[in-house]
Amino acid sequence: MKEGEKILLYGKREFLVEYRPGEEVHTHLGKIILKEGLEYGDLLRSSTGAEFVVLKPSLADLMKDVRRKTTIIYPKDAGVMLLEAGVESGSTVGEAGTGSGALTLLLSRIVGREGKVISFEARKEFIDLALENLRQSPFQNYEIIHRDVVKDGFGEFRFDALFIDLPEPWEAVSRAREAILPGGAWVSLSPNMEQMKKTALTLREEGFLRIRSFEILRREMVVRSFGVRPKEVMHSHTGYITVARRGK
Ligand SMILES: C[S@@+](CC[C@H](N)C(=O)[O-])C[C@H]1O[C@@H](n2cnc3c(N)ncnc32)[C@H](O)[C@@H]1O
């Protein structure tokens, strides 16, 4: 593993930390030394004797770990958004707004070395934050552009898929129509039903096809020898997703 890469220390508690060979991680379960030449699967023992296995974090772990000054798109939603948009290695994708860069990080890792992520953000302070969070991508395949996309559009860029996480997504629909390639995908997420409705109706007015709105509910299970059931507490609401395709 490379220096600076995030690793997951999994034990009674989980800690997601940057790998710095020789450095100490201080936790309430004691001090853990990140030895030289650490490998996934290694067992580390803290100064109080607590055991931790070194694991590679999932993309969901990395997304949830970004330093945030905005709400972020959650992994349960982001996974389906990627599938619906048909994003794969080599895709060129757009995004507005960048916010904390949680989705940008995921997109960068999914489109890979041959792909491209162009993200637009109206507020400069969020760009700096997102760039810091994007250090967890192994690829230099992203660009963040300081721009209000409702006022100034997406310029000359053309996208296989465009992800919209703005307070008023419907205001970006006509701009998006110019920027999405024929057959390409619009994917937006909004916390409220009114936003979702206005977005879907505007997409229809602007001639988008295959418009669908839905939400994703994830119920964690308690699995044991007897009494398997859902956990009492659920992260029940994040937002409503709207997907659509551009025709000719
Ligand atoms: C909820 S945040 C996006 C979070 C991001 N999807 C993530 O996962 O970290 C919404 C962002 O949109 C930006 N924004 C709002 N209106 C905009 C516009 N017209 N053009 C570009 N960015 C805009 C805001 O400044 C904010 O950073």
Pocket test for ligand 1, best of 134, 147, 166, 173 (most atoms within 8 A of CB): 166
Strands 229-230 and 180-190: unpaired
What is the end-to-end Cα distance of the chain in Å, rounded? 46
Q: What domain count does the chain have?
A: 2
Q: Is 124 exposed, middle or buried (0-12, 13-18, 19+ CB in 10 A)?
A: exposed
181 shares its domain with 223: yes
66 lies in a domain? yes
What's the confidence (pLDDT) of residue 153? 98
Do 141 and 208 reside in the same domain of the chain?
yes
Query: Ligand 1 mean position to 58 CA, how many Å?
Result: 24
121: Cβ–Cβ under 8 A, 6 or more apart, which residues?
Answer: 96, 97, 98, 99, 127, 130, 144, 145, 146, 147
Q: Interior CA angle at 79 toward 76 and 84, to 5°?
A: 125
For the chain, what is the mean pLDDT? 97
Task: Tell me the pLDDT tens digit for each residue of 192-215.
Answer: 999 999 999 999 999 999 999 999
Name the residue of 98, 105, 117 to mutate for ligand 1: max ligand atoms within 8 A of Cβ.
98
User: Is residue 85 domain-shared with residue 36, that is, in the same domain?
Assistant: no
| Best residue among 70, 118, 148 to mutate for probing ligand 1, ranked by most atoms within 8 Å of CB | 70
Return the amino acid letter for 138. Answer: P
Q: Tell me if 244 sits within 8 A of 203, measured CB to CB.
A: yes
Cβ atoms of residues 222 and 231 within 8 Å = yes
CA gap 71, 77 in Å, rounded: 13
Where does the pLDDT of residue 189 fall: very low under 50, low under 70, confident under 90, or very high at 90 and above?
very high
Express each pLDDT in 68-103 by its tens digit. Answer: 999 999 999 999 999 999 999 999 999 999 999 999
Residue 1 has pLDDT above 90, yes or no: no
Domain carrying residue 224: 60-245
Whether 179 is covered by a domain: the verdict is yes
211 inside domain: yes
User: Is the pLDDT score of 6 beyond 90?
Assistant: yes
Of residues 62, 31, 24, 67, the one with CA closest to residue 46: 31
Query: Any idea what the CATH number is for the domain that residue 227 is in?
Result: 3.40.50.150
What are the tens digits of pLDDT across the range 20-76?
999 999 999 999 999 999 999 999 999 999 999 999 999 999 999 999 999 999 999
Distance 148 CA to ligand 1 centre (A): 9
Q: Does 67 share its domain with 153?
A: yes
Spatial separation of the C-alpha atoms in residues 129 and 97, rounded to whole Å: 13
Pocket of ligand 1 (CB under 6 A): 70-73, 96-97, 99-103, 120-123, 126, 148-150, 165-167
Q: Out of 18, 36, 55, pick the residue that ends a domain.
A: 55
SS (H, E, C) 10-44: ECCCEEEEECCCCCEEEECCEEEECCCCCCCCCEE
Question: Does 1 map to a domain?
Answer: no
176 alpha carbon to ligand 1 midpoint, in Å? 15
Q: Which amino acid belongs to residue 9?
A: L
Residue nearest to atom 2 of ligand 1 (CA): 99
Tokens representing residue 121 in the block: 């953000």
Which domain CATH number covers 35?
3.10.330.20
Verify that 14 and 110 share a domain, yes or no: no
